[in-house]
Homo-oligomer: A and B are copies of this chain.
């Protein structure tokens, strides 16, 4: 009898604290990934669009869009971490450590940093720190995420509960900025907006105005491009309602791209403090976005400041509404993301 060839993926009892899982299928980036990212999302941040603009900011060329790199690394982790997940519960301590350039080959691994069986005994929460590395072995990004995973066997013993102590937000001095980055000669006409760090006030909210109605073909193209294999995104028969669930990262990228209108100079994401996929998103939804300025910081790179931003994606209601009276996300909220981005001072 031949050994079974397909894997059902890991269940809660298959994870152990300190375990390091190397994720399969490395991926080399070309201009094709960039072009597709710009076709899938209305992405217009100039540093990712133009080699000339990037060079004027001290980079060797335009990197791959920050979130495209994130999706690639995330996608590699799906077969090992979230294929049997009931829910993606959150992100923390995400840092973009090196711009991903064309020609780079990315691989990924995850370390189990927390485990907690749920009281039902049927599921548990797994915390992992996932790292993406390039062909030189340099780490290009890392982030923590935690997911609720089914147990294979409800009778399997519960592991010791370890809940990692995660920063609520990255301290600005823990952000890693791209080598050579320099915004002193920043071209505000070519970037699309005149706003600089000083123009943003903590507490300020921005309605990004535009909306994009999403199609099945688009989110599947995107999700496949990142080699994310979660079947709920592709197989209309996998949910009882016959709908394909849109990969949460598709909503993140759509909202980030929509935020260009008001945040054109929030050029590079360098930190991901947290994020919740507040409600599921399906094809036919018109995604809108608004932002709130949460914090501001200076950096040691010439001309470069940092904005901490809340980015909220909605399915279309009035902006700036996040939670109901009971403190729960309102039904039209799709995403609540907290990140650090670099802006000219």
- Interface set of A (CB-CB < 8 Å, partner B): 2-3, 5-7, 22, 24-28, 30-36, 38-42, 44, 46, 49-53, 61-62, 79, 102-103, 105, 107, 135, 189-193, 195, 199-201, 204, 206-213, 215-218, 220-222, 224-225, 227, 229, 231, 234-238, 244, 261-264, 286, 316
CB-defined contacts of A217 to chain B, threshold 8 Å: 215-218, 221
Beta-carbon contact of B193 and A5 below 8 Å: yes
CB-defined contacts of A238 to chain B, threshold 8 Å: 211
Beta-carbon contact of B234 and A213 below 8 Å: yes
Beta-carbon contact of B105 and A135 below 8 Å: no
Beta-carbon contact of A221 and B224 below 8 Å: no
A263 to B234, CA, bound (A): 20
A194 nearest in chain B by CB position: B3
Beta-carbon contact of A24 and B215 below 8 Å: no
A-B contact pairs, 19 of them (CB 8 A): A3-B195, A3-B199, A5-B193, A6-B261, A22-B190, A28-B49, A30-B30, A30-B32, A31-B31, A31-B33, A32-B33, A40-B221, A42-B234, A44-B227, A79-B192, A210-B231, A213-B216, A213-B236, A213-B244
A151 to B132, CA, bound (A): 51
A54 nearest in chain B by CB position: B28
Distance of A237 from chain B, by nearest CB (Å): 5
A109 nearest in chain B by CB position: B189
Distance of A184 from chain B, by nearest CB (Å): 19
A56 nearest in chain B by CB position: B26
Distance of A82 from chain B, by nearest CB (Å): 15
Residue from A40, A49, A224, A264 whose CB has the most chain B CB atoms within 10 Å: A224
Residue from A193, A199, A201, A218 whose CB has the most chain B CB atoms within 10 Å: A218
Known A3-B199, A26-B53, A212-B235; judge A39-B286 contact (CB<8 A). Answer: no
Residue from A22, A51, A201 whose CB has the most chain B CB atoms within 10 Å: A51
A79 nearest in chain B by CB position: B192
CB-defined contacts of A50 to chain B, threshold 8 Å: 25-28, 105, 107
A191 to B27, CA, bound (A): 11
Beta-carbon contact of A215 and B216 below 8 Å: yes
Beta-carbon contact of A35 and B225 below 8 Å: yes
Beta-carbon contact of A28 and B52 below 8 Å: yes
A107 nearest in chain B by CB position: B190
CB-defined contacts of A62 to chain B, threshold 8 Å: 28
Beta-carbon contact of B211 and A234 below 8 Å: yes
Out of B135, B199, B225, B264, name the residue touching A52 (CB < 8 Å). Answer: B135
Beta-carbon contact of B264 and A24 below 8 Å: yes
Beta-carbon contact of A27 and B49 below 8 Å: yes
Beta-carbon contact of A221 and B39 below 8 Å: yes
